[in-house]
């Protein structure tokens, strides 16, 4: 489609047959576009993407499937060389006028999906680092506890009973010690 103010057709009248063919193609293109938009509006709903933790599984809803079908229909429709040529010429005309052509809002959606994926990966990395740091702290605490326990005397979980003993009488004290490795006990 060419605009009346573009330099390619200034002052050149169009033949009536070309105008009718052009109108017919334009009408068919508009009908296809309306059908696609209608199917998109009927089958999809607006939903804000939320962040999911690594423990949650993503479940596809009926709206997601409808959107995927509409996108596939959009991509597979208009494949004729005439429509591609028309699309290229309209893109050139839009660039000449200093406008940017945005096709179906995919650029923003791709950016948003990339952003969400990056944040998910960063969250996973941060979670792994936090888990690793917690495990290192636990190992360090366990190591310090072992060192403290090895440097002190034995614990008697059952208290010793008091006995009366005469002076200058020999007394035999017995104690069963169990540990790994077996300790050497001196009294």
Instruction: Tell me: do 1 and 77 sit in the same domain.
Output: yes
Instruction: Tell me: do 96 and 114 sit in the same domain.
Output: no
**163 located within any domain:** no
**187 located within any domain:** no
**174 located within any domain:** no
pLDDT band for 96, please (50, 70, 90 cuts).
Answer: low
**96 located within any domain:** yes
State the burial class of residue 70 (Cβ atoms within 10 Å of its Cβ: 0-12, 13-18, 19+). Answer: buried
pLDDT band for 40, please (50, 70, 90 cuts).
Answer: low
Using CA atoms, how far apart are residues 177 and 154, in angstroms rounded to an integer?
9
SS3 110: helix
Instruction: Tell me: do 94 and 20 sit in the same domain.
Output: yes
**44 located within any domain:** yes
Instruction: Tell me: do 34 and 120 sit in the same domain.
Output: no
Instruction: Tell me: do 147 and 76 sit in the same domain.
Output: no
Using CA atoms, how far apart are residues 159 and 150, in angstroms rounded to an integer?
21
**161 located within any domain:** no
Rounded to whole angstroms, what are the CA distances from 76 to 35, 69, 101, 149, 168? 14, 11, 20, 73, 108
Instruction: Tell me: do 95 and 41 sit in the same domain.
Output: yes
* Cis amide linkage into residue 129, ω under 30° from 0: no
Instruction: Tell me: do 86 and 114 sit in the same domain.
Output: no
More confident residue, 75 or 82: 82
Instruction: Tell me: do 40 and 123 sit in the same domain.
Output: no
Instruction: Tell me: do 20 and 55 sit in the same domain.
Output: yes
Residue finishing a domain among 61, 80, 101: 101
Segment 99-153, tens digit of pLDDT: 554 555 567 788 889 999 999 999 999 999 999 999 999 999 999 988 887 777 7
- Helices 16-43 and 62-76: crossing angle, nearest 10°? 160
Instruction: Tell me: do 26 and 81 sit in the same domain.
Output: yes
Instruction: Tell me: do 134 and 53 sit in the same domain.
Output: no
Rounded to whole angstroms, what are the CA distances from 77 to 4, 47, 81, 110? 28, 26, 12, 21
Counting the structural domains of the chain, the total is: 2
Rounded to whole angstroms, what are the CA distances from 73 to 7, 44, 55, 62, 79? 35, 14, 34, 16, 11
**157 located within any domain:** no
Q: Which value, to the nearest 10 degrees, does the dihedral of the CA atoms of residues 110, 79, 92, 106 take?
A: -10
pLDDT of 178: 76
- Residue 95: domain span: 1-7+14-101
At CB < 8 A and 24+ separation, what contacts does 130-138 make? none
């Amino acid at each position: 489609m060419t605009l009346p103010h573009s330099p390619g057709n200034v002052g050149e009248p169009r033949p009536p047959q070309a105008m009718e063919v052009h109108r017919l193609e334009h009408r068919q293109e508009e009908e296809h576009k309306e059908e696609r938009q209608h199917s998109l509006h009927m089958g999809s709903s607006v939903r804000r993407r939320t962040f999911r933790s690594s423990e949650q599984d993503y479940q596809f809803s009926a709206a997601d499937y409808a959107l995927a079908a509409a996108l596939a229909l959009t991509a597979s429709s208009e494949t004729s060389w005439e429509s591609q040529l028309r699309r290229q010429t309209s893109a050139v005309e839009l660039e000449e006028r200093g406008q940017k052509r945005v096709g179906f809002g995919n650029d923003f959606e791709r950016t948003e999906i990339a952003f969400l994926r990056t944040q998910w990966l960063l969250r996973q990395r941060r979670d792994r680092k936090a888990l690793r740091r917690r495990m290192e702290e636990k190992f360090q605490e366990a190591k310090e506890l072992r060192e403290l326990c090895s440097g002190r005397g034995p614990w008697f979980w059952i208290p010793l009973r008091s006995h009366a003993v005469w002076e200058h009488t020999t007394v035999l004290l017995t104690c069963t010690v169990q540990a790994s490795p077996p300790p050497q006990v001196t009294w």
